Structure 1
Amino acid sequence: MLKKILSKSIAIALLSLSASAVFAGEVEVLHFWTSGGEAKSAAELKKMLEAKGHTWKDFAVAGGGGENAMTVLKSRVVSGNPPSAAQIKGPTIQEWGDEGVLTNLNSVAESEKWNDLLPSVVADAMKYKGNYVAAPVNVHRVNWMWLNPAVFKKAGAEIPKTWDELFAAADKIKAAGLTAIAHGGQPWQDATTFESIVLGTAGADFYRKAFVDLDPASLDSEAMVKAFDMLRKTKGYTDKDAPGREWNMATAMLINDKAAIQFMGDWAKGEFTAAKKEAGKDFLCMPAPGTAGMFTFNIDSFAMFELKDEKNKAAQVDLAKTIMEPGFQEVFNLNKGSIPARLNMDMAKFDTCAKDSSAEFVKSAADKTLVPSMAHGMAMFSAVQGAVYDTVTKFYNDDAMSSKDAAKALASAVKAAQTK
């Protein structure tokens, strides 16, 4: 009898192992999460997928705010060898959909009830012609201002809420021999600061006309001239080593008490968290001046590419399911600094910054002050975004270029990019 029971148990175990081997596949995931907090978040997804019996092939491409990763992705797709999933977002998903290389995720979306679990603004961004082709991992608020209160205290400066207060504080910080504004001189970082300035000085309606509707009169307007003026003024409070600096190195300046302020999305919080810093004590999070009650969003997502291997297709489906599971949405966003894309999540474990972000996301959607991030690929197609990047960065690096000329150049560059 004992032999029969053991034989049966072994047979069941072997059958189970055989079944998992049959359905186990590989997912190759292209992403650009390479900083401390980001890499830790990606590792959680890998761990959860491997727990389901699949193999994770990591394809991380650092730098450029994702620009480098997109260059690599294009070469892979053109060669007929796409990854299982790639970190893509916003209108870029539509561009890849037009190429006919994305796979349809409707079956998993329907079985997992994604339409009920996602805010409409998130769900719509994950679809191509009404069909799900991507899975969202989070929602980032971009218009954050991060502050080191110890640096403010050392310089005898007040925590600012307006641009005038910010520049008054920056003067004191600069006089104390510290860097007032930590910045990385890269096009996407220049654009990140600029979009918060436009939102804070001109409001959500103007922002939408300029960066979503691409209205020529708004792009070349006095309001845009004022925003360029403000951008140039912020540059005066950065340090000489800013050009080419990666964003997380700028965040490290705040972490190490070398700088006071950084304009960056809430992925910066992941760096503070990784460094064991406490929100409200070691660092502060506030909306960029003038942007309280408004929300520029950036949704990280994985678009899924059409595959041939059936095992890898099954692994791809499990990847999509895992991304939307509450356990992943919680642990990923706790590490990343963002908030869950999935609705009705328990926010008890999240800090005050994330709780504020979650509340503002819902409120700004109702108040129509929720706008897609221009700097982070949510507002416009990549060619137009590139034209904006080029103009903003040219102005930022050329002190001889006037704000009026920059606004005129911006309107012309956007128009040219639209006709290509």
Structure 2
Amino acid sequence: MYKAYAAALGASLLASAAAHAGPTAEVIHWWTSGGESAAVKQVAQAYRAAGGTWIDTAIAGGDQSRAVTINRIVGGNPPTAAQFNTTKQFADIIEQGLLNNVDDIAAQQHWDTMLPQTVVNTIKVKGHYYAVPLNIHMQAWIWYSKAALKKAGVTKEPENINEFFAALDKLKAAGLIPLAHGGQSWQETILFSSLLANMGGREMYLQVLQHRDQRVINSPAFRNVLLAFKRLHSYIDTGSPGRNWNDATSLLIRGKAGFQIMGDWAKGEFNAANMKAGEQFGCIPGLGAQAPYLIQGDVFVFPKTNKPDAVKAQKLLASVVTQPQTQVAFSQLKGSIPMRPDVDASKMDVCAQKGIAIMKDRSRVLGITEVYLSPDQNGQLQDVLTAFWNTNMTVEKAQKSIAAALRDE
């Protein structure tokens, strides 16, 4: 479905840029919300300032964007670069030899020691780096509307799961939406991941997702995580099913909802609405001082090519993306933090400063579900969680189904 469209689109865009001087890069990405669009413009502007021509191919939705990218690569009409996340999303095209490596820039910048190990394990395969990291996102931030919490009489940030539910109850009693949520499977996986990390800590999180320990998955403690996950359903509104994540964030922006559990890309929406962190909205990186920090990020991959002009464009983009000023400018609008730890982040907001401080404690940094699970396992987990969330499935059945989904392949 995407192949014909993608091929025609890519051909027309590249033809229109043929007359321009300098390396020409067609970049496929899914940054289409207000905050995301503003952020990617920073990268485009930096690329143009470096002498390149940027061709923007924005495709709404990560699944759709990745499908177009892969179809074009396989079909022999690849873009210059494409956005993926720091997960196993691009593992197959690496295995098929369809990406150029970026070992030269990785060596120059000492990625082996500079980047978090979770990121290195994802973008380095069989000794070669295949993606250029742009930023770090934390998936399970707890955002809140200060106006909504004040109306409900919530006077302090919750520090554990019991305090969080107590705050949700106060919001419900005040006639507000306690939890803004977009009813989509990937968003429900974020809710689950947040509770698993905040209730189970580092040990249970890794036992369930990385080691897939059947004893732990079938334990009463994991059952309590699932019960808390299902309890959250009682705090969402009837408009939740199918809602986009940024529309859920808008409920906080308008003071109609209290909390949202979402990645720090949500901060880009607050920024676009001219709201200031710590003043109109707040951010909680986890429930408790040692809560795991679940990271992912955005990367650019470079499809395999030997054409000198295309390789030149790829190398220029890789250089631009890894510049400290580009990473800071992007993250300030995207809501993330720079991938490089050596940037000047003094002008970033209080939420970003919290994240940067936490990243210095490597013991708190963990990957998201897609880092530890194969695409099939992750898909099966999402299916179970969404069914449990939306139906009358019992917790016993959900627990057994997750155990089956996470058995070693």
TM-score with structure 2 setting the length: 0.90
2:389 maps to which of 390, 396, 403: 396
1:152: how far off?
Answer: 1.1
Out of 161-170 and 345-354, give the one that drifted further. 161-170
Write out per-residue CA displacement over residues 364-399 of structure 1, whole angstroms, 9 at most, x where no aligned residue: x1xx2321011xx3332222111111111111011x
Alignment-derived partner of residue 85 in structure 1? 81
Q: Which moved more, 1:269-278 or 1:188-197?
A: 269-278
Correspondences of 1:65-214 after superposition (within 5 Å): 66-88=62-84, 89-115=86-112, 117-159=114-156, 160-214=158-212
Displacement after TM superposition at 1:72 (Å): 2.3
* Cα distance between partner residues in 2 of 1:390 and 1:380: 14
Distance 2:383 2:23 in 1: 42
The CA distance in 2 between the partners of 1:292 and 1:237, in whole Å, is 26
Structure 2 CA distance, aligned partners of 1:120 and 1:57? 32
Say if 1:184 and 1:250, in contact at 8 Å, map to a contact too.
yes
Select 2:404's aligned residue among 400, 409, 412: 412
Amino acid at match of 1:150: A
What is the total number of aligned residue pairs between the two structures? 390
1:46 match: secondary structure: helix
Compute the displacement of 1:244 (Å): 0.5
Q: For residue 225 of structure 1, report the CA deviation from its aligned partner.
A: 1.4
Conserved 8 A contact 1:92-1:381:
no
Structure 1: which 5+ runs fail to align?
1-20
Partner of 1:382: 375
- Equivalent-residue separation in structure 2 for 1:292 and 1:149 (angstroms): 24
Provide closer, same or farther for how the CA distance between residues 304 and 218 of structure 1 changes in structure 2, counting only shifts above 3 A: farther
Give the corresponding residue for 1:13: none
**What residue ranges of structure 2 are gaps of 5+ in the alignment?**
1-18
Find 2:299's aligned residue among 278, 298, 301: 301
In the TM superposition, what whole-angstrom CA distance separates every residue of 1:142-166 from its partner, at most 9, and x where no partner exists?
A: 2210011111111223332222222
What residue is the counterpart of 1:12 in the other structure? none
Report the residue type matching 1:86 in the other structure.
A
C-alpha distance in 2 between matches for 1:168 and 1:262: 15
For residues 38-49 of structure 1, what are the structure 2 equivalents within 5 Å? Answer: 38-49=36-47
Contact 2:73 2:303 in 1 (8 A): no
Residues in 2 aligned to 1:283 and 1:201: alpha-carbon distance in whole angstroms: 24
One-letter amino acid of the structure 1 residue matched with residue 332 of structure 2: L
Letter in structure 2 aligned against 1:371: L
| Conserved? CA contact 1:372–1:379, under 8 Å | yes
| Cα separation, partners in 2 of 1:202 and 1:307, compared to 1, 3 Å | same
The amino acid across from 1:392 in the alignment is L
330, 343, 368: which one aligns with 1:373: 368
Cα distance in 2 for residues equivalent to 1:372 and 1:265:
13
Aligned to 1:270: 268
- The aligned residue for residue 54 of structure 2 is 56
Letter of the 2:396 partner, please give it. Answer: K
CA displacement 1:162-188 (0-9 Å, x = unmatched): 222222222221122210000000000
Separation of aligned partners in 2, 1:411 and 1:100: 34
The one-character-per-residue Cα deviations of 1:384-415 (angstroms, maximum 9, x if unpaired) are 111111111111011x2111210110121233
RMSD over aligned CA atoms reads: 2.0
1:292-325: per-residue Cα shift (whole Å, max 9, x none)?
A: 4421111211111112432121011111111100
**DSSP 3-state at the match of 1:242:** coil
Q: Secondary structure at 1:205's aligned position in 2?
A: helix
Match of 1:257 in 2: 255
Q: Which deviations, in whole Å up to 9, do the C-alpha atoms of 1:169-222 show, x marking residues without a partner?
A: 222211222100000000000000110101111111110121122223333332
Contact 2:195/2:228, CA 8 A, preserved across alignment: yes
Distance 1:113 1:413 in 2: 38
In the TM superposition, residue 41 of structure 1 has moved relative to its aligned partner by 0.9
In 1: Cα distance, 2:374 partner to 2:78 partner? 21
Q: Report sequence identity in percent.
A: 36
CA contact (8 A) 1:25 1:312 kept: yes
Contact 2:27/2:56, CA 8 A, preserved across alignment: yes
Deviates more, 1:295-304 or 1:218-227: 218-227
Distance 1:311 1:321, change over 3 A: same
TM-score w.r.t. structure 1 length? Answer: 0.88
Gap change, CA 1:116 and 1:210, over 3 Å in 2: closer
The structure-2 alpha-carbon separation of the partners of 1:339 and 1:362, relative to structure 1 and needing over 3 Å to count, comes to same
Looking at structure 2, the residues matched to 56 and 130 of structure 1 have their Cα atoms a distance apart, in angstroms, of 30
Farther off after superposition, 49-58 or 130-139: 49-58
**Which protein is bigger by CA-based radius of gyration?**
1
Displacement of 1:116 in angstroms is 5.6
Mean Cα displacement is larger for which, 275-284 or 125-134? 125-134
CA distance in 2, matches of 1:40, 1:173: 32
Cα deviation code 1:42-62 (max 9, x no counterpart): 111111112223222222221
